[in-house]
A = this chain, B = another copy of it.
């Protein structure tokens, strides 16, 4: 079990009455337990906590008045050790996919899998199926793209990235998700905190559905998957924006951290992982 301390501090200059929708609280599920947590808003605001959608994304909504706004979140999460020998993890046949997983085969805003059937089949159609095929998709994505902060924006899609061949973590995830879906493997986007991510920031990675479970993957190799703490889950980044703002406000600081507090940290570099992380 890993014990991870995470948190973030966000500052805004607010110009008019503004509603903030924040999706930065650690998710609660069978794989991660939140043992302590705090959310401070300065100046004090009434906040509303709600769950969005069937996946349990935790959203905080607050009405800010003009002025400076500081949001500080901290949490300690215990991650269950869910390593699995990935050697024999296969794909689930289409006719056996659970009904609630089927929608993760559909194309979404930033993951146009419906345009990529031939592309994916040509690149990955001859490979062994299962965990190793998703690993091949991650490796291909890692090798084809250059991690280039600033090279993409909020409306950049997987197909855009496949042409320009540069992107950041969300783009890597969108590309890999799109290729998985095009191959018939359900895949979805996960936002989270990540230990040993440099520079520290929120992270975006993905899950693929294999052998009746979701497994975590990250095509960026920027941080060990075993140190990922899930915030939100969705079809793509459109569903798990860290902050959605209705009103006039300007971000003046985003500071994010995540530390492994386990007695003896076992987090390995992500390109060394030979065991799958079953996540949900």
Contacts and interface: CB of A to CB of B under 8 A. Distances in A.
A149 interface: no
Nearest to A52: B99
Can you tell how many copies of this chain the complex includes?
Answer: 4
Interface stretch (A35-43, A114-122, A214-222, A248-256): A114-122
A105 B107 CA distance: 17
Nearest to A62: B95
Given A61-B95, A100-B52, A102-B52, A146 B165 contact: no
Nearest to A119: B165
Interface residues of A, number: 45
A100 B144 contact: no
A246 B94 contact: yes
Main secondary structure of the interface of A (DSSP, over half): mixed
Contacts of A155: 112, 114-115
A184 interface: yes
A95 B239 contact: no
A229 interface: no
A32 interface: no
A92 interface: no
Nearest to A105: B244
Interface in A151-171: 154-155, 159, 162-166
A24 interface: no
A166 B162 CA distance: 16
A122 B94 CA distance: 35
Contacts of A52: 99-100, 102-103
7 contacts: A52-B100, A52-B102, A94-B246, A114-B154, A116-B163, A118-B146, A159-B163
Interface of A: 19, 21, 48, 50-54, 59, 61, 63, 94-95, 99-100, 102-103, 106-109, 111-112, 114-116, 118-119, 122, 144, 146, 154-155, 159, 162-166, 184, 234-235, 238-239, 246
